[in-house]
Amino acid sequence: MGQIDFKNNGSTIPSMKTRILTALPVYNEVSHVAAVLNELRQHVEDILVVDDGSNDGTSDVLKDFPGIQVKQHSPNLGYGAALRTAFDYALENSFDVLVTMDCDGQHQPQYVRQIAGLIDATADAPVDMVSGSRYLKEFESDNAAPEERRLINARITACLHEQLGLSITDAFCGFKAYRVSSLANLDITDNGYAMPLQLWVQAADLGWNIREFAVPRIYLDEARSFGGSLDDASVRLAHYRSVLNAELERRGMNQRFTSDCGAAAAR
């Protein structure tokens, strides 16, 4: 099972020799992308934007940032597919650390080098993934998560602990850092928002060393759509369990996520 270490945020700033790629999956973020990229460029050099079929003018805004690498998807393929493109790019270009963050203003660029600093490939037990958590500690700037999203996160997070021994506090935070060499062992096939669940199963199966990093809880788009029937919380929760069980079966693991898994955490 993956090893979890909560002794953070005692990160160190990576040395200049450490090649860090910061990747942002983007879909129709015309109102946020310029501000996020302008701030991000103050903290890091290598930036990849995966424009996942945007049709709102985001692609035109990206043309104003010639120093930033852009990978285009056409048509829209989904959140998981965008992250898979980022994984492949980091591997193909021999980066040491990949940091992924959303482009909707929820993730703050000033934390990128700190979260990357927790990936130390020279350590006796190198960290494979650092996962942001909006529930590891409280920040003055925190705001309340939309209730149904908080409950689903709590249930799935509890399930991951019960079935896979992952003592994490936030299953769905997209702000993460990865040791790039570890990404080669992943086999991500889910193209949608359930991709993180496939990732957690594989991380546990691979015995990844995992840490969490406390980040502020910021929700700017409480009405975000997950697509069609998935906007119904009960349908979305059932879908997440289905993805988890399919991945467990695919990898020959014995655990299963039942309909009552994690129920106590949602009370």
* pLDDT reported for residue 67: 92
First-to-last CA distance in the chain? 27
Query: For the domain that residue 51 is a member of, what is the CATH number?
Result: 3.90.550.10
The verdict on residue 75 lying in a domain is yes
Task: Please give the DSSP secondary-structure letter assigned to residue 149.
Answer: H
Full strand arrangement of the beta sheet holding 20-26: 3-5, 209-214, 129-133, 176-179, 97-100, 20-26, 46-52, 69-73
* pLDDT reported for residue 48: 98
Q: Which two tokens stand for residue 132?
A: 């942001």
Contact 253, 168 (CB under 8 A): no
Q: Which two tokens stand for residue 100?
A: 């992924």
The verdict on residue 257 lying in a domain is no
Q: Could you give the number of structural domains in the chain?
A: 1
pLDDT digits (tens, 9 = 90+) for 30-47: 999 999 999 999 999 999
- In 78-140, which residue ranges form alpha helices assigned H by DSSP? 79-92, 112-116
The verdict on residue 247 lying in a domain is no
* pLDDT reported for residue 229: 75
The verdict on residue 236 lying in a domain is no
* pLDDT reported for residue 3: 45
Q: At what angle do helices 233-250 and 147-164 cross, to 10 degrees?
A: 20
The verdict on residue 152 lying in a domain is no
Task: Please give the DSSP secondary-structure letter assigned to residue 203.
Answer: H
The verdict on residue 92 lying in a domain is yes
The verdict on residue 262 lying in a domain is no
Its domain, for residue 197, covers 3-146+165-224
Q: Which two tokens stand for residue 242?
A: 């289905």
pLDDT digits (tens, 9 = 90+) for 53-82: 999 999 999 999 999 999 999 999 999 999
Residues of the chain with pLDDT under 50: 1-8
The verdict on residue 86 lying in a domain is yes
* pLDDT reported for residue 5: 45
